Structure 1
Amino acid sequence: MKIRGDVVRLYRNVHSWVGIMAGLFLFIAFYAGGMTMFELPLGNWASRTATLPAPVPADRLSELVQKAETADPSMIANHTVVLHPDETSPSSLMWVVSSDRDHGPARTVYAGLAADGTLVTQTRTPSQVGYFLNILHQRIGLPLNREYGRLIMGIVALLYAVALVSGTIVLLPSLVRNLFAVRLTENLRRMWLDFHTLLGVCSLPFHIVMAATAAGFAFHQPIMALEKTLFLPAVSTHLPQKNHSHQGDRPQALLEPLAIVDAFRKQVPGLEPDTLAYSSRGGKLSLHVTVQDAAQISRRPDGGYGEVNPYTGRLISTDFLPNHQKPAFQALTLIYALHFGTYGGWLIRWGYAVLGFGGAFLFYSGNQLWISSRRRRDRSAGLAEDSFGTRCLSALTTGCMIGCISGVSAVLAAAPFLPEGGHYQAAEALFYAVFFICLTVAACWGGTRSLRPLITAAGVLTLLIPLTDMTRSLTSGEVTSLAASVDGVALVYGVVLIVLALRKSPHRRTEIRIPVTS
């Protein structure tokens, strides 16, 4: 494909400068975003030291709810019955006693029955480490509140889209010739450029989806206003049914959990209820029956749900129920699912994690290529040292990106020793302390000089994750498959970082100028 040389140069400059402006933020977003694919398992891993009441058989769920209501009448307004307890939801009944919208999992009571039938409860806050990583990726590393963080994230997402378009245009003239030509025998800069190009093109569809959906989430308020205008008439036909369904002859008592399950199965064949989540809205009790099915597309990581009348068991709304939505809501669900990977089960989530970490490397390599190019220009201009701009970007690249890796590893390594696996404030304080220490070291020593010691520190902090977790396991005598998986991945990753830090720098060969295709 032929494109004029001046056009290619223009888009190369646009790609470089826009990529530089957005790359530092996007590295943190993609690195922490890859971690959020395992938010629930990480939260459970971090807080597994607590011993929760054992799950009860399905035929005793009603007894459990009644005894819990007798002990705490307020629980009925906000409780969840777990039909299939697992490592993520280990108790058959739980309810929230205090919550903080901005700080993740709320203080929760977990309830079960002892062997003699008495009520057993435990109150704790689930670990907020996974939730912190999710918020870190949403706010692209900035310690701002939800509103301002998402606004800046939206601006960065738009810059990200510009970088994708301009980079694709730059590559078009030499796409066939250079795409898979990863030259390992030439100079280091050429090898980095080849990897950067190959990774960018192969993951381009993923990056387009991330840029478009992230901008949508950031500017969701006007989008939601438009959604109400366009789609509210489509659902208004069944909204009145919510308000006057059996209000005159509604029974005073809630249906038993198993009765709700049977009624749901009859109305929605093929979907198996997972949890019954009760909440109070406007003085009226509502019920969301959550389902999880890897073969279906869900809007949320914890699955889709249908709204059910808790007194009659009648299905009220299917707006968020997989495979039973109207086309408008199904389209919105697809947008959420494409960003959060809430479809296809764990295979897709692992794929998203790999693409997320690959995206982080893409931004790191892009910054390093720009720094290398600026250094060549400085030497050509007769400068003995790097220019001020080159030194600043080198320090920011090393400090921010390696600081992000070190901060995340420090939070995970400290989680076994933090109260209840780590509250949000503790995780946030520890991350930013490590992050700004790395940034300060890079600013004082320079990006190039500080790179090796900072990568070494990141490797050591990562190796501390399996060390501290094994210490906790030996103390508690509890070893799980989830712990073994987390420790194994951290061990391999830490060793890789140490090897990268200690390896000898390859001898630089003669620089090869990259021709501009005209």
Structure 2
Amino acid sequence: MKIRGDIVRLYRNVHSWAGITAGLFLFIAFYAGGMTMFELPLGNWASQTSMLPAPVPAERLSELVQKAQASDPSMAANYTVVLRPDAASPSSLMWTTSSDRDHGPARTVYAGFAPDGSLVTQTRTPSQAMYFLNILHQRIGLPLNREYGRLVMGIVALLYAVALVSGTIVLLPSLVRNLFALRVNENLRRVWLDFHTLLGGCSLPFHIVMAASAAGFAFYQPIMALEKTLFLPAALSHQPGKDHVRTGQRPQTLLEPLEIVEAFHRQVPDLEPEALVYSSRGGKFSLRVTVQNKAQIARRPEGGYADVSPYTGRLTTTDFLPDHQTSAFQALTLIYALHFGTYGGWLVRWVYAVLGFGGAFLFYSGNQLWLSSRRRRERSEGLMADSFGTRCLSVLTSGCMIGCVSGISAVLAAVPFLPEGGHYQTVEALFYAVLLGCLLVAVWLGGTRSIVPLLVFAGVITFLIPIADIAHHLMSGSVSRLDLGLDGVALVYGSALMILALRKRPRQIMGADLTV
């Protein structure tokens, strides 16, 4: 395909400026986003701080709810009956005593039976460390509130889309010749450029999905208003199991949990309920039945759900129930699933994690390539030292990007020793303290000279993850609950960071000086 040279140069400039403008934010979004592919197992690992009440047999769930309500009448306003307890929901009955929408898992009471049949409860806050990493990726590393963070994310997503389109146009004239060319025998800058091109070209569909869906999430309020206008009235009017019982005839007694399960099975025989989530507003109860089927495409990592009448057991809405949605809602679910990887099981989640970390390296290499070109141009103009703009971007690239790696490793290393696995404000303060420290080191030493010490620091902090995990379990006497998978990955990753830092010619290896 032939495109005029001046057009290619124009789009190359657009690609460079859009890329470096958004690259610092996108590195954090993709690196932390790769971590969120394992949010549930890492959250379970971080929350294993104490023994909780044992699960209760299904036939005693109703008795458990009654005793809990007698002990704490306020729990009736919002509680969850867990039909299949697991690491994420370890007790058969849970309710929150406080909630903070911005700070993730709330103060939670877990209830069960003692051996003598009496009610036993334990109150704690599940670890909020992984929720913080999820929010970090959503707000592209900025400590902003939900409204402003979403707005900035939307602007960066649009710049991201511009960089993708312009980069594709630049690549088109030499697509066949350059896409799979890795000229390892040429100078290092050419090797980095070839690898950047290969990585960007092969992962382009993934990046298109991320850019489009991230922009949609950022501006979701007008999109949701349009969604309700176009889809919701029709969807509600055609629900097959909608409860038509009049208010005056509605029974005032809630069905028992097993009766709800039986009614759900009669209407949706192909899905197995996981939990019953009750809530009350103005004395009127509502109920969501959650399901988890790894073979289905769900809108959330936790699975799908259906709204059910707690008085009759009839389905009222199936907008978020996998394979029981209208075509419109199914399309929206697919968009969410493509962004969060909530389909295909663990294989897809690992692929998304690799693509996320690969995307982070794509932005790092893009910034370093731009710095290299900028330095060459400045040397040709007679400048013996980097200009102010080049120094600033070099410092930000080294300090922010390697600081992000170090900060996330520091959070994971600290989790075993933080109260209740780490409260949101604690892990947030720890992450930004490490990030700021790395940025100050980059300012002090300069972007190029700081790469090696920052990489060594990141490697050491990453090595601390398995050391802290093992030490914590040795002190608590629960060595059998070690997460050997997490510890092994941390050891391999920490070793890779140390090798990169200690290799000969580290400036050339890390791309800080690609002019050779």
- How far did 1:18 drift? 0.5
Cross-structure match for 2:459: 459
Cross-structure match for 1:326: 326
2:242 matches 1:273: no
2:160 matches 1:167: no
2:140 matches 1:140: yes
- How far did 1:331 drift? 1.2
Q: TM-score, normalised by structure 1?
A: 0.96
* Cα 1:313–1:276 shift into 2, 3 Å: same
Q: Where do residues 61-72 of structure 1 align in structure 2 (5 Å cutoff)? A: 61-72=61-72
Comparing 176-185 with 165-174, greater Cα deviation is found at 176-185
Letter in 2 for 1:259: E
Aligned-CA RMSD value: 2.0
Cross-structure match for 1:478: 478
Contact 1:275/1:291 (CA < 8 Å) preserved in 2? yes
Alignment: residue pair count: 513
Cross-structure match for 1:416: 416
2-side partners of 1:402 and 1:48: how far apart?
29
2:25 matches 1:25: yes
Cross-structure match for 2:447: 447
2:129 matches 1:129: yes
2:401 matches 1:405: no
* Cα 1:403–1:508 shift into 2, 3 Å: closer
Contact 2:189/2:515 (CA < 8 Å) preserved in 1? no
2-side partners of 1:403 and 1:296: how far apart?
38
Contact 1:49/1:476 (CA < 8 Å) preserved in 2? no
* Cα 1:320–1:281 shift into 2, 3 Å: farther
2-side partners of 1:203 and 1:190: how far apart?
20
- How far did 1:247 drift? 3.1
* Cα 1:481–1:297 shift into 2, 3 Å: farther
2-side partners of 1:404 and 1:307: how far apart?
40
- Structure 1 residues 286-313: Cα deviation after superposition (integer angstroms, max 9, x where no partner): 1100011111111111110011111111
Letter in 2 for 1:472: H
Contact 2:255/2:312 (CA < 8 Å) preserved in 1? yes
- How far did 1:281 drift? 3.2
3-state DSSP class of the match of 2:324?
coil
2-side partners of 1:192 and 1:480: how far apart?
44
- How far did 1:238 drift? 5.6
1-side partners of 2:107 and 2:436: how far apart?
30
Cross-structure match for 1:297: 297
- How far did 1:250 drift? 3.0
Contact 1:41/1:482 (CA < 8 Å) preserved in 2? no
Contact 2:239/2:318 (CA < 8 Å) preserved in 1? no
Comparing 485-494 with 248-257, greater Cα deviation is found at 248-257
Q: Where do residues 256-267 of structure 1 align in structure 2 (5 Å cutoff)? A: 256-267=256-267
Comparing 14-23 with 377-386, greater Cα deviation is found at 377-386
1-side partners of 2:99 and 2:240: how far apart?
31
1-side partners of 2:28 and 2:343: how far apart?
24
Letter in 1 for 2:274: D
Contact 1:272/1:291 (CA < 8 Å) preserved in 2? yes
Q: Where do residues 31-50 of structure 1 align in structure 2 (5 Å cutoff)? A: 31-50=31-50
* Cα 1:482–1:321 shift into 2, 3 Å: farther
Cross-structure match for 2:212: 212
- How far did 1:236 drift? 4.1
2-side partners of 1:505 and 1:512: how far apart?
11
Contact 1:341/1:349 (CA < 8 Å) preserved in 2? yes
1-side partners of 2:187 and 2:51: how far apart?
56
Q: Where do residues 86-101 of structure 1 align in structure 2 (5 Å cutoff)? A: 86-101=86-101
- How far did 1:245 drift? 2.5
**Which protein, 1 or 2, shows the higher relative CO under an 8 Å CA cutoff with sep ≥ 6?**
1
3-state DSSP class of the match of 1:311?
coil
Cross-structure match for 1:156: 156
2-side partners of 1:499 and 1:75: how far apart?
54
2:466 matches 1:469: no
- Work out the percentage of aligned pairs sharing the same amino acid: 77
1-side partners of 2:110 and 2:391: how far apart?
53
Cross-structure match for 1:341: 341
Cross-structure match for 1:230: 230
3-state DSSP class of the match of 2:237?
coil
Cross-structure match for 2:288: 288
3-state DSSP class of the match of 2:277?
strand
Comparing 372-381 with 202-211, greater Cα deviation is found at 372-381
Letter in 2 for 1:308: V
Cross-structure match for 2:2: 2
2-side partners of 1:248 and 1:351: how far apart?
53
Comparing 335-344 with 22-31, greater Cα deviation is found at 335-344
* Cα 1:92–1:147 shift into 2, 3 Å: same
Cross-structure match for 1:368: 368
3-state DSSP class of the match of 1:50?
coil
* Cα 1:296–1:241 shift into 2, 3 Å: closer
Q: Where do residues 95-114 of structure 1 align in structure 2 (5 Å cutoff)? A: 95-114=95-114
Contact 1:298/1:333 (CA < 8 Å) preserved in 2? yes
Letter in 1 for 2:426: A
2-side partners of 1:174 and 1:373: how far apart?
20
2-side partners of 1:217 and 1:502: how far apart?
41
- How far did 1:243 drift? 7.8
3-state DSSP class of the match of 2:450?
helix
- How far did 1:157 drift? 0.1
Contact 1:277/1:287 (CA < 8 Å) preserved in 2? yes
Letter in 1 for 2:356: G
Comparing 238-247 with 405-414, greater Cα deviation is found at 238-247
1-side partners of 2:269 and 2:246: how far apart?
24
2-side partners of 1:279 and 1:415: how far apart?
32
1-side partners of 2:482 and 2:287: how far apart?
31
Structure 1 unaligned regions, length at least 5: none
Structure 2 unaligned regions, length at least 5: none
2-side partners of 1:478 and 1:372: how far apart?
51
* Cα 1:242–1:97 shift into 2, 3 Å: farther
- How far did 1:181 drift? 1.3
Comparing 477-486 with 109-118, greater Cα deviation is found at 477-486
1-side partners of 2:190 and 2:114: how far apart?
66
1-side partners of 2:78 and 2:423: how far apart?
22
2:373 matches 1:383: no
- How far did 1:480 drift? 5.4
- How far did 1:345 drift? 1.4
Letter in 2 for 1:288: R
1-side partners of 2:458 and 2:232: how far apart?
50
Letter in 2 for 1:48: Q
Letter in 1 for 2:210: M
